[in-house]
Amino acid sequence: MSTGAAGVVSRDSVNALADDLARGALPRDADALAELLTGLEELKATAAAIQARASVALSEVLVAEQRAGGVPAARLGRGVGAAIAVARRESPHAGDRWLGFAKAITAEMPHTLALLSAGVLSEYRATLLVRETACLSREDRAAVDAQVCADPAQLATWGNRRIAAEARRIAQRLDPASSVERHRRAVEERCVSLRPAPDGMTYLTALLPLTQGVAAYAALVRGADTVLAAGDPRSRGQIRADLLVQRLTGQAAADAVGVGVYLLMSDATLLDAGTEPAQVVGHGSLPAPLARALVTRAVDAGVAAWVRRLYQRPGDAELVGLDARSRVSPAGLADWIGVRDQTCRTPWCDAPIRHIDHVVPHAGGGATSLGNGQGLCEACNHHKQAIGWKTLPRPGPHAPVELTTPAGQVVRTRAPDPPASPVAPPERRGPPRPVRIDLIWPTAA
């Protein structure tokens, strides 16, 4: 990789290399193409090693600025991972993870860093080595680093599981007590989570101790086998999924479960044959026919549903009002901002909204208003309170916000576009009409 003046790697030198590669013609023979793929993979690994070093250097600079600014020792480093995340165009959570990886690999795992720099290890495989040695002392971690990386040629042929298993085996031999303590902490962190999946589905994930997870899965397998033996036409996987829902909710059938969600759809999608997808707040879009089918199913099942209309300003699709059946109050405003923003407004963060934040802080004269409000996850709301962070509302549709990081990078974010209704011909246009349906669908009694 070329460097700029005085041998310093810069964004300009990286961009120049990228331009040279992008303009180059591809070879025509198979051997050269395969070698090119290998070389590019090695280049990505080398770039990852440089990113790790740069992350540590940026962290040191920002922490020094915080210290000079009088930040208490207990709060030094707050927001640094988030600043790295913005620079890498990642979520703040990922930024903290990458900073931890960078500190470990540069300070405690020189062999792994050397192989990453040489392109022998990919960034993902290097993170596996960091993860599996996280519970060790500095000395033991260095020993695992040296042993796993002792034969680079062999290491380069191992799969991801083999690399992680080898590091784990050596770590458990060097310090079995730390491995036991790591397991104890992991048990304390058991949890259940929900995240969106493609095609109107979700991933319901349980992180459980080994014995509990095996027992729970075995119970579903036995239940599914019993149902299958009785001649049920569903597949084994479908039966397991339905049994999980039934046993968790206590319902007799999986489809009978009442769900409380915000389903945003245009009036044409709900009441006509509109094709504009609906939006499930926090989970993404649904095809219009599926959204209508979900509403119909809720009504047919006798589960209560109600609608609240939100009004669109003609021309720019900005939401400008909502039905008078609920008065605009702090709680109503919070609901509105949550429906508008859908997920955390920090760039590249898709976490659920936990806090309704003042873009310009209330202490700095910021108003409690729709234009000065944004939905943030808990971590992002804490990050923006650190020294060097600044947010400002900007004019334009969908509530744009300008974010400046302690490193001086400026990025803009705005709320997602709400579902659109067909625009009537000019001669048919009348007064503004309700074209956003905020459907609270359905809430079980």
Q: Half-sphere exposure (CA, 13 Å, Cβ side) for 206?
A: 11
Residues 6+ apart with CB under 8 A from 442: 258, 259, 260, 298, 301, 303, 304, 305
Same domain, 213 and 87: no
Same domain, 77 and 169: yes
Give the Å distances, CA to CA, from 423 to 318, 319, 435: 14, 16, 10
Average pLDDT, the chain: 83
End position of a domain, from candidates 212, 238, 256: 256
Confidence check: pLDDT of 398 > 60: yes
Buried b (16+ CB within 10 A) or exposed e, 404-423: ebbeeeeeebebeebbbbee
Which range has the worst mean pLDDT, 35-39, 209-213, 327-331, 341-345?
327-331
Q: Is residue 404 part of a domain?
A: no
Q: Is residue 432 part of a domain?
A: no
The rounded percent of the chain whose pLDDT value lies above 90 is 51
Same domain, 12 and 160: yes
Same domain, 20 and 132: yes
Same domain, 147 and 200: no
End position of a domain, from candidates 211, 237, 256: 256
Same domain, 28 and 145: yes
Which range has the worst mean pLDDT, 40-49, 183-192, 314-323?
314-323
Q: Give the DSSP per-residue string, 177-197.
A: HHHHHHHHHHHHT-EEEEEEE
Band of pLDDT at residue 422, cut at 50, 70 and 90: low
Whether the CA torsion 118, 119, 124, 125 is positive or negative: it is: negative
End position of a domain, from candidates 188, 210, 240: 188
Q: Is residue 284 part of a domain?
A: no
Q: How far apart are CA 288 and CA 277, in angstroms?
A: 5
Same domain, 75 and 166: yes
Eight-state DSSP code of residue 423: P
Which range has the worst mean pLDDT, 208-217, 318-327, 345-354, 392-401?
318-327
Band of pLDDT at residue 35, cut at 50, 70 and 90: very high
Same domain, 11 and 159: yes
Q: Is residue 296 part of a domain?
A: no
Same domain, 161 and 237: no
Residue with tokens 């809720």: 298
Q: Is residue 361 part of a domain?
A: no
Q: Give the DSSP per-residue string, 276-319.
A: SPEEETTTEEE-HHHHHHHHHHHHHTT---EEEEEEE-TTT--E
Q: Are 438 and 307 in contact (CB under 8 A)?
A: yes
Residue 60's CB: how many other CB atoms inside 10 A? 11
What pLDDT score was predicted for residue 332? 66
175: exposed, middle or buried (Cβ count in 10 Å: 0-12, 13-18, 19+): buried
How many domains in the chain?
A: 2
Dmax over CA atoms of the chain, in Å, equals 80
Same domain, 206 and 98: no
User: CA torsion, points 175, 179, 182, 186, in degrees to nearest 10?
Assistant: 170
Q: Which of 245, 195, 198, 255 is nearest to 223 (CA)?
A: 245
Q: Half-sphere exposure (CA, 13 Å, Cβ side) for 69?
A: 14
Q: Is residue 356 part of a domain?
A: no
Q: Which of 441, 439, 429, 440 is nearest to 267 (CA)?
A: 439
What pLDDT score was predicted for residue 433? 41
Band of pLDDT at residue 25, cut at 50, 70 and 90: very high
Q: How far apart are CA 235 and CA 414, in angstroms?
A: 43
Q: Is residue 23 part of a domain?
A: yes
Same domain, 37 and 56: yes
What pLDDT score was predicted for residue 419? 67
Confidence check: pLDDT of 13 > 50: yes
Same domain, 106 and 181: yes
For 212, the domain range is 191-256
Q: Is residue 184 part of a domain?
A: yes
Q: Are 318 and 312 in contact (CB under 8 A)?
A: yes
Give the Å distances, CA to CA, from 405 to 96, 386, 410: 15, 10, 7
